[in-house]
Each structure stands twice: as C-alpha cells, then as structure tokens.
Amino acid sequence: MIDLLPKLERRGNSGCSCSHTPSEEPGDWAQKQLQPLQQQQQGWPNKHTLRILQDFSNEPNSNVSSNSLEKNQFPPVGHNQNERSSRQPEHQAAQRGDPKRHSPPDVVEQQGVKALVRLAALYEHPLFKTTLPALTDEDTLFNVNTDIRFDPKAAYYNIMSQFHIGINRYELYSRHDPVIDGLLKDLDAQKITSVAMKSGGTQLKLIMTFQNYGQALFKPMKQTRDQETPPDFFYFSDFERHNAEIAAFHLDRILDFRRVPPVAGRLVNMTKEIKDITKDKKLWRTFFISPANNICFYGECSYYCSTEHALCGKPDQIEGSLAAFLPDLALAKRKTWRNPWRRSYHKRKKAEWEVDPDYCEEVKQTPPYDSGTRLLDIMDMTVFDFLMGNMDRHHYETFEKFGNETFIIHLDNGRGFGKHSHDEVSILVPLSQCCRVKKSTHLRLQLLAKQEYLLSSMMAQSLLRDHLAPILIQPHLDAMDRRLRQVLTVLADCIEKEGYSNVVADDLQGEPAHTSPRQR
C-alpha cells in the first residue's frame, strides 16, 4: 500500500458527489454510487475507495494501530482541518497484518465495484419497488399547506423540517429520498451552536442544536470497534454504543423497514463544539484534563457518569453518533407502548413470556395486537433486534395521530452489536411463539440470505458511506448472516407446523396485512 500511494498521488484531483438531487431517478442514484470507483483510473480515489483498498482484518487488534492512510489528505467535510488533532481515531488506523493475506489492490477494487453494483441492484429489486396506498391528509403527519411552520420562507425551515414533512402512516421516509442523504450530511457537517444534556435515560446523551436550528441526539463513543460486551454484564447495564446506532439505521434501511430516524457518525471537538458553547453548568463542571493530557468529561446520568468512566478525547476529538430528532411532541404527539416481550430487568426474576410457551396466545387477544398490523410489526422489530443482538427493547413508540394502524418507530438501538461471538436466541421468542410474519419481510430476508445480496456485504457497502467508516468489524457482519439463517430456520419450522398461509401474511396485494381470527 505504501508503494501504491505515490503513484496515486501523482494523478490529478477529481471528486464526485454520491447523493442525488430530487430530479434524479433511482437509477441515476445507483449509477452515482459507482462513480468513486469508476473514476479511480482518472484521479485521486474517493476516501471510501481507500478504505476498500485496506485489509479490514478479522483480527481484534486490526482496528487499533496508528497512522491512517488518509490522515491528512481527507479533512472531514464541513470542518476546519486546522481544528483537527493530528492524532486520528482508532477506527481510521491503517490495517496492518501479514502481507501474504492481502489481496492485490486491483482485485480488491474489482470486488468493491461488484459489491456496490449489488447494493444498487438490491434497491432496484422488485421487493424494493412496492408502492404505498394513496395518502390522504389523515395519512400524513403534517398538512404543509395549512401549517405556517413548514413555509420554506420561515426562519426555522430546514432540511430536518423536510424530513418531518415526509413522515406518514406507513414510513418515516421514502426510498431514495434525497432529503435523507442531505440530512445525513447536515448531521456530520452543520455547525453546532448549542449543547445540553438530555434528561432521563441511564447513560449520557447530549442534545446538539445546529446553526440551521436542526437538532440531533449525540451518543459519544464508549467502546472501540473490537470490544465485546463483557460476559458478566447484564443486558440492562451494557454500554450504549455509538456505532450500533449508526449500523442500526443502515440495517433498518436495508431491511426496507425505514423506521429508524437518520443517524450519522461525526468526529466532534470536545473543546470547541461542546465545552466552549454549552450553557449547561452541570455538564460544563464535569470537564477535566486527564493525566495523559486528554480532554475528558462525564456529565450526569444513572450509569457510567463518573471520573472512572469519563469520556476522553484524543486529545479533544471524540467520535459519536448523531440521530436526527423526530418532530417536537408539541407538534406531533407520540404514544409509548410497553413491549409485550419486555424483559424483567432484574438479576433473578424472569418475565412471563420466558416461562409460558403459550404467552403469544394471550397477546393475540389483547388490543392492539388482536387486529391490524401491530403484531406483525412486533415480529419485524424482533427480527431487527435479533440481527443486531439487541436485548434492550422494553418500550416502543408510535405517532398518536395514526392510531393503531401505523408502524413502530425503532428508537434507541445503542445496545445492539455488543457480541458477535454469541447469538441471543431468546430475542427470537416472539417469532417462535407467534409464528407470524409479513410476506414482504419473509421474502426480503430470503433475498438477503442469497450470495448475490448477502446481508453482510450489503451492510458493509452501505456503512462505507458514513464518515466514521468502518462502523462494524467483520465478525459483526458475519454474525448477521449467521443470525439471518436462524431466523429463516424458525420461520421454516413454523410453516411446516402450521402451514404457509397461517404463518405468512400477504401484504403485497395492495392492502396492509391484517391479523384475522383464523390466523390467531
């Protein structure tokens, strides 16, 4: 790689934008995803191309070396390079290892092109082309024609407002929506003007306000990419991982649920972008300089907010995830529901569903699970959580305006991707007890199990678009493929036992899937 860089450096400078404008068709968007690799023969490679050329080893130590290949060539978009520390975050370290295990750069490049083609092809597949019913005013969260707050001339109108306008009864955002790509860029590049601690919750989270009045929830980095949850940790005391929030957004998108608010990774200057601008005195008072001369803080929360668990920069740069805020509750109320398969959150006690194999039969007779799509949405969420290894799903939310006929919002995914070496099969209990799934979900899972559209490959390529890539190490990607096969096995057993029509609810005939008395 070192020998290769001077040759690349002698070429000219060229770049491309991988986002598409509203006027472009999805096909154009797919083509643009390929441009960074296609243009490599003509100029300096895109930063994601360099990452493809690296050997992202399965070795746990492969993410903790130093001297990134792109250390100085690629300053973060929207940030002053002079404000960045010369010390780079651990995930950007050059991937060292046995040279014999490295593939030739041209071979790796070809593999990267093929993977991008497959990701673009996935989104062009008929299963990702299904249409929604015609939307009425009752199906949209806001009526933009009568609400002055969504006037493009209003001071508070920004790209996050456009994201909020797009929310409807069936989805948080539509496929190939250019607003989402623009919002992800804003989360990474917009100037931060205000910071405050978020009240509630067990671990520290910050509310960040941008220059364009948008807001996002910041979860700072607590673990490196290769660290697993300690085996003696209970699920309710596990760390919340910033990279899990990022990966969850991409996984939700690949599954075509589109129920996770947009999340992007960002490298934050703790001094200039938190300490110097916060008016939260409780937060400000927790800043200190460590013996290693790094800037640290810990804030106030239930767990891990102490000097011993302080969040320290290098020397004042820290990674984190930024999740776009949903509309203010004053504008769009949300209803919080207790998850029927909620865990006990106790060291010794078990929940009812853990000891009663017929528990789902009780759930099916209880509103809102006795009709509509809610039970099927719980099954979607179950699959989503199992693929991530997320055991922390005690409640969920829906938009109050849409009543019971709407999707579940997949919030708070930070405790996913904690263990790649262990599959927590208890997360799948709702699916194995109820034996119900949407046809669209079942078919997409089968598609993502095929070599051509392998889930791990789709995730790896999707995650490369994030500024902090690589987001997941290879063992986590491999674990998703392994877990996906287990999900399909559970569904196959259900179909064999109860029959296809009693397990798979057809939601691809233009009408939402419903739970009928016969299918209970």
| Residue numbering of the annotated binding site for ATP | 203, 219, 240, 323-326, 397, 412
Residues 6+ apart with CB under 8 A from 98: none
Taken in order 381, 386, 390, 395, the sign of the CA dihedral is: positive
Residues 6+ apart with CB under 8 A from 496: none
Task: Please give the annotated binding residues for Mn(2+), written as ranges.
Answer: 240, 412
Both tokens of 96, joined, read: 């060292």
Containing 461, the helix (H) or strand (E) segment is helix 455-463
Pairing of strands 215-220, 311-312: unpaired
Task: Please give the annotated binding residues, written as ranges.
Answer: 203, 219, 240, 323-326, 397, 412
Chain-centre distance for alpha carbon 243: 8
Q: Write down the H helix ranges in 55-209.
A: 105-124, 159-165, 178-189
Distance separating alpha carbons of residues 135 and 170, to the nearest angstrom: 10
Three-state DSSP state, 441: helix
Nearest to 297 by CA among 210, 191, 222, 200: 222
**Annotated catalytic sites, by residue?**
392
Note whether 38 and 91 are within 8 A (CB): no
Peptide bond into 368 cis (omega under 30): yes
Distance separating alpha carbons of residues 392 and 451, to the nearest angstrom: 31
186: exposed, middle or buried (Cβ count in 10 Å: 0-12, 13-18, 19+)? buried
Both tokens of 509, joined, read: 């005939």
Note whether 81 and 119 are within 8 A (CB): no
Distance separating alpha carbons of residues 283 and 379, to the nearest angstrom: 39
Residues 6+ apart with CB under 8 A from 425: 486
The one-letter amino acid at 287: F
The one-letter amino acid at 156: Y
Kindly state the greatest CA–CA separation across the chain.
70
Distance separating alpha carbons of residues 47 and 61, to the nearest angstrom: 22
Chain-centre distance for alpha carbon 323: 9
- Tokens 């673990």 belong to residue: 223
Note whether 212 and 186 are within 8 A (CB): yes
The one-letter amino acid at 370: D
Nearest to 205 by CA among 295, 304, 277: 304
Taken in order 381, 267, 182, 472, the sign of the CA dihedral is: negative
Both tokens of 296, joined, read: 């640290």
Strands in 187-294 per DSSP E: 192-197, 206-210, 215-220, 263-269, 288-289
